[in-house]
Amino acid sequence: MDWIKRNLYFLIGSLVALALMGLAGWYLYSKWQLNNEFLGKLDEQYVELKRLNDQNPHPGSDQVNNIQAAKEQQKEMRAYIGKARQYFQLCPPIPVPESGKLTPQEFSSALSRTLDQMQRDATKASVTLPPKDSTGQPYCFSFAAQSKSLAYAPGSLAPLSVQLAEVKGICNVLVQAKVNSLDNIRRERVSDDDFKGPQTDYLTEKTVTNELAVLSPYEVTFRCFSSELASVLAGFSASPCGLLVKTINVESAPAAAAGAEAFASTAATPYAPLAPAPAMAPSVEARLAERYGMRGRGAPGSAFSERYGNRGGPSPVAPAYVPPVAPAASASANRGGLPISLDEKQLKVTLMLIAVKPAASK
């Protein structure tokens, strides 16, 4: 104790120095660990730099900065997408609700008006539609299940109104091109009611959504000639609703009925009127009797015949008249005019369409 009392300041200083040395050692150890962590990250960056330098194409150097060039190209691509959006506009749904929420009564009324309008447009353009069904209902353009009902599955009115607008846009193109007939239109099932309708009205394909747009499938089958087919393709390319032709299948349409072919062959046969029977030349006795008024004297048993005899002999008998037979005309015989250089046949066309609906801009 005496030593501590004599060296109290020395002891306190030694303890403080020892504490400071401990703190310094702990600080050095912690910083050494931090240094090792930064050294590991630095090694990782060197490895990443080496990997980028070994890539093909090279990310760039001081002369060429490929990363900056990629950013500029991405900016140009976004500007091009914004410019192309004007060619893929959304078809306004039918109907557009005034209150913001579509009701079954509004959709039912709009569906009836739209189907009637499409049927009348097809009739005016001489486009033949499929016949009526067993119940006497006309063709409903793939909406047969909805046309017979006033109550619809929950949540189906919005997609049905969009499909109705897109189907109307497809029919407008076909009617404007004046195709010969419309065989069928098929669409995707978007409602539980669609399982109750004719199975020929629906597709197995589904709508696909990506970062840029929503792609909905449709299939249309019609009959036309090559000029009308060209008009249909031009109409889809100019349609503001963004209707793209994905696939096209063209084949010869089925042949006409046998009765129509028989009528055509009969109509192609030219009519040959019968020639009149040739007149028989009068005999010598008949001419003399006509000249001298001795009719009947040349008859057998008459005085004239007993005195002078029947010099002319028996009167000739006219041969039986046989009408001339016209030669049969072949179906391919040219009845005058220019020769046929192209005999076009009717085509049956099946188009797979994609309705492009642009997504909302980010």
Secondary structure string (H, E, C) spanning 209-262: ECCCEEEEEEEEEEEECHHHHHHHHHHHHCCCCCEEEEEEEEEECCCCCHHHHH
Mean pLDDT of the 201-216 span: 87
Q: How confident is the model at residue 335 (pLDDT cuts 50, 70, 90)?
A: low
Q: Which pLDDT value is given to residue 287? A: 64
In a domain, 49, yes or no: no
Q: 165 in a domain, yes or no?
A: yes
Residue 175, domain member (yes or no): yes
Q: How many domains does the chain have?
A: 1
Q: Is the dihedral of CA 223, 228, 234, 236 positive or negative?
A: negative
CA 108, distance to chain mean position in Å, is 26
Which domain, by its residues, includes 238? 104-253+347-358
Say how far apart CA 255 and CA 261 lie, in whole Å. 9
pLDDT value at position 60? Answer: 66
Is there a domain that residue 178 lies in?
Answer: yes
Largest CA distance in the chain: 212
pLDDT for the residue numbered 261:
41
Beta strands per DSSP E along the chain: 181-188, 202-203, 208-209, 213-224, 243-252, 347-358
Domain for residue 167, yes or no?
A: yes
328: pLDDT strictly greater than 80: no
Q: Provide the token pair at 350.
A: 């099946």
Residue 220 lies in a domain: yes
Question: Is 204 part of a structural domain of the chain?
Answer: yes
| Strand ranges, E, within 232-346 | 243-252
pLDDT tens digits for 82-107? 777 777 777 788 888 777 788 888 88
Residue 157 domain flag: yes
Task: Look up residue 144 and give its amino acid.
Answer: A
Instruction: Judge whether residue 262 has pLDDT over 60.
Output: no
Q: What is the pLDDT of residue 58?
A: 67
- Please give the C-alpha separations between residue 24 and each of 12, 38, 231, in angstroms, as whole numbers: 18, 21, 89
Q: Is the pLDDT of residue 295 over 60?
A: no
Provide the CATH number for the domain around residue 116: 3.30.70.60
Q: What is the pLDDT of residue 178?
A: 92
Name every residue whose Cβ is closer than 8 Å to that of residue 247 and which is 6 or more positions away in sequence: 351, 352
Residues whose CB falls within 8 Å of the CB of residue 179, separated by 6 or more in sequence, listed in order? 127, 222, 223, 224, 228, 232
Rounded-to-integer distance, Cα 99 and Cα 103, Å: 9
Percent of the chain topping pLDDT 90: 22
The average pLDDT across 135-151 equals 85
Of the ranges 72-86, 109-123, 250-264, the best mean pLDDT one? 109-123
> What does each C-alpha distance from 212 to 24, 32, 36, 60, 357 come to in angstroms?
60, 51, 46, 30, 9
